[in-house]
């Protein structure tokens, strides 16, 4: 089959467009209310990382909303898309998580160049580096050239946290770990009280951790940028630390595309090569607010 034929293949299980599948899903009671639609956007490239599919903290619903609104020539999956690490212990695979995988594969079949750079949570995919899986190109890292000719080194970034702290701090970012910590706090304080010790402050502990985390992040950014300087690129695009950021470090355009667990951020390249970080939760909030004020206006009109 030629490539152009490939692009027209209809994927029967894309429930977004398939009314039968949509009806089936609605009947199964899994259909949640979607935010109101906004305008469709087209980008040259989209960079997404740290989705952590397979965990409860994953905001697959927000990511799906983004994907419904955005198309691109290139789609970079910059690591930790699936959380295989956690899947080994507990399985949390919601219909939304399936839909993300389906959407990505559908894009790959319709001509979007999909590049998957495995991270530390989906490191099992590192065995497939330089292979093509269902139209998705798996790479250790790569160079992306923008429309205006700048070269960005694209990598997940976990190889740079050994320098500082072995990434254990990341556990404190996840909501699961946070809940466990809160549970632990109650238990620890029960024991402490029995032994006559004073209350152990969770908030002080977290503040300390946060300070450590802030320190870690700036060290991470510096190390990644230093390596980028050695590779004589114009910029670097990475993920891993769940912190969307763009700043100039040692003459390098450092961009972190963030995550879909806490901040729901994505990096896009416009057709002219301009890079932009989008905070998608804000976009959803704006649409919902607009719909609400629209409802109010309608209600007022009806009352008059």
Residues that bind Mn ion (CB under 5 A): 80, 119-120, 158, 240
Nearer to Mn ion, 107 or 240 (CB): 240
Nearer to Mn ion, 112 or 120 (CB): 120
Strand partners, 72: 43
With both helix axes pointing from N to C terminus, report the angle between 60-69 and 95-109 in degrees, rounded to the nearest 10.
30
According to DSSP, residue 82 is labeled B
With both helix axes pointing from N to C terminus, report the angle between 280-303 and 60-69 in degrees, rounded to the nearest 10.
80
Nearer to Mn ion, 146 or 256 (CB): 256
Task: Give the DSSP letter string of 141-210.
Answer: -EEEE-TTS-EEEE---GGGSTTTTTTGGGGGTSHHHHHHHHHHHHHHHHHHHHTTPPPPPHHHHHHHHH
What the block records as the tokens of 277 is 């970080």
CB of 13 to Mn ion, least distance (A): 29
CB of 116 to Mn ion, least distance (A): 14
CB of 167 to Mn ion, least distance (A): 7
β-sheet with 113-116: strand ranges across: 132-133, 136-138, 113-116, 70-77, 41-48, 265-269, 275-279
Nearer to Mn ion, 26 or 163 (CB): 163
CB of 55 to Mn ion, least distance (A): 12
What the block records as the tokens of 301 is 């009109």
CB of 225 to Mn ion, least distance (A): 18
| Neighbouring C-beta atoms of residue 41, cutoff 10 Å | 15
User: Reduced to 3 DSSP states, what percent helix, strand and coil does the chain have, rounded to the nearest 5?
Assistant: 45, 20, 40
End-to-end CA distance of the chain: 62
Nearer to Mn ion, 15 or 80 (CB): 80
CB of 156 to Mn ion, least distance (A): 6
* 175/262 Cα distance (integer angstroms): 9
CB of 166 to Mn ion, least distance (A): 12
Nearer to Mn ion, 51 or 105 (CB): 51
Nearer to Mn ion, 100 or 284 (CB): 100
Torsion of CA 199, 203, 204, 206, to 10 degrees: 130
């Amino acid at each position: 089959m030629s490539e152009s034929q490939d692009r027209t293949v209809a994927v029967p299980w894309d429930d977004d467009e398939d009314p039968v599948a949509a009806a089936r899903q609605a009947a199964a009671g899994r259909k949640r209310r979607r935010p109101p639609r906004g305008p469709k956007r087209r980008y040259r490239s989209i960079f997404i990382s740290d989705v952590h599919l397979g965990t409860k903290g994953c905001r697959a619903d927000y990511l799906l909303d983004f994907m419904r609104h955005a198309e691109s020539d290139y789609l970079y999956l910059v690591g930790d898309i699936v959380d295989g690490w956690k899947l080994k212990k507990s399985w949390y695979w919601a219909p939304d998580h399936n839909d993300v995988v389906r959407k990505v594969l559908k894009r790959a079949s319709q001509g979007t160049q999909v590049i998957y750079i495995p991270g530390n949570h989906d490191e099992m995919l590192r065995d497939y580096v330089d292979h093509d899986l269902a139209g998705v190109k798996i790479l250790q890292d790569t160079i992306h050239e923008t429309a205006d000719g700048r070269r960005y080194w694209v990598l997940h970034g976990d190889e740079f946290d050994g320098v500082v702290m072995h990434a254990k701090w990341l556990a404190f970012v996840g909501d699961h770990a946070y809940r466990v910590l809160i549970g632990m706090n109650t238990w620890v304080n029960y024991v402490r009280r029995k032994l006559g010790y004073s209350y152990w402050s969770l908030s002080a502990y977290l503040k300390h951790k946060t300070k450590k985390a802030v320190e870690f992040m700036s060290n991470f950014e510096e190390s990644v940028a230093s390596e980028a300087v050695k590779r004589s690129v114009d910029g670097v695009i990475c993920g891993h630390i769940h912190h969307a950021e763009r700043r100039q470090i040692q003459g390098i355009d450092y961009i972190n595309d963030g995550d879909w667990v806490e901040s729901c951020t994505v990096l896009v390249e416009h057709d002219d090569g301009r890079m932009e970080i989008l905070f998608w939760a804000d976009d959803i909030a704006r649409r919902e607010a607009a719909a609400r004020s629209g409802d109010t206006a309608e209600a007022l009109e009806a009352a008059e």
